[in-house]
Amino acid sequence: MVGGNASSVTDFILVGLFPEFQHSIVLNFVVIFIYILAFLGNLLLIVLIWGDSRLHTPMYILLSQLSLIDLTLTSTIVPKTASNFFTGKRTISWIGCGTQSFFYLMLGMSECLILTLMAYDRYVAVCIPLRYLTIMSPRFCLHMVAGCWIGGSIGSFIHTVYPMHFPICGSREIHHFFCEVPVLIKLSCEDTSVYQLVVVVTSIVLLVVPFSLIIASYTLIFLTVLRMNSVKGRKKALATCSSHLTVVTLLYFF
């Protein structure tokens, strides 16, 4: 029995991030409030971008994809966390756990790829502006966005299905507020050292390669900006990159 509710032997128990925090109700209300603001903000941005034909440019299309990722990611985790807290039922089914893990990984991978594509978009816009419309055509942009989502989905599917089949011999308590691969590996009574190494290598590749490409793009952008004679042109070029740089900084350093 967990929180007064019977649970299946295949269910997991989400202990939470701060299970003994005395003011957890305040923390949960703060999280829900931030979630609602983030949800409405991202939804509004998506509607504005797709509702205004003047914003149907690669930069804004990619920005709408980031908003969609943020909206989906928070909706994958926060509602279940809030539901568990207010109902006192801390269990999550095997399928529910796998679903959370899949979406968390898929959205994280897709975000890294989208940010890399945004850096390339800014590189083309600043460094070779005369060819921008030819290179970053709507067709090319949509194909690249689809590739980001498909790539993230394939990678996430592999890293979700495999660990979900590890045998669990002891406690099924997850000391976290949602399911993800690392915490599932810790529950397994099987030797997972080889798979853990694969996870580490995959994580490094997914973080380092996109980050390196982003750094390379902005190095070329800044070199191009420094060669510009017009101060107004420099400011305009840097202004178009500011939103993307802010998102990259938040993702990699906070």
φ/ψ (deg, to 5) at 68: -65, -40
Give pLDDT tens digits for 203-237.
Answer: 888 889 998 999 999 899 888 888 888 778 778 77
Q: 104, 121, 47: which is closest to 70 by C-alpha?
A: 104
CATH topology of domain 11-253: Rhopdopsin 7-helix transmembrane proteins (1.20.1070)
Q: Where are the alpha helices (DSSP H) in 165-192?
A: 181-187
**Domain ranges across the chain:** 11-253
| pLDDT average, residue stretch 8-19 | 73
Angle, helix 94-127 to helix 193-226, in steps of 10 degrees: 20
Is the pLDDT reported for residue 24 higher than 80? Answer: no
- pTM equals 0.83
> Residue 6 — very low, low, confident or very high, per pLDDT cuts 50/70/90?
very low
Which residues on adjacent β-strands are paired with residue 13? 91, 173
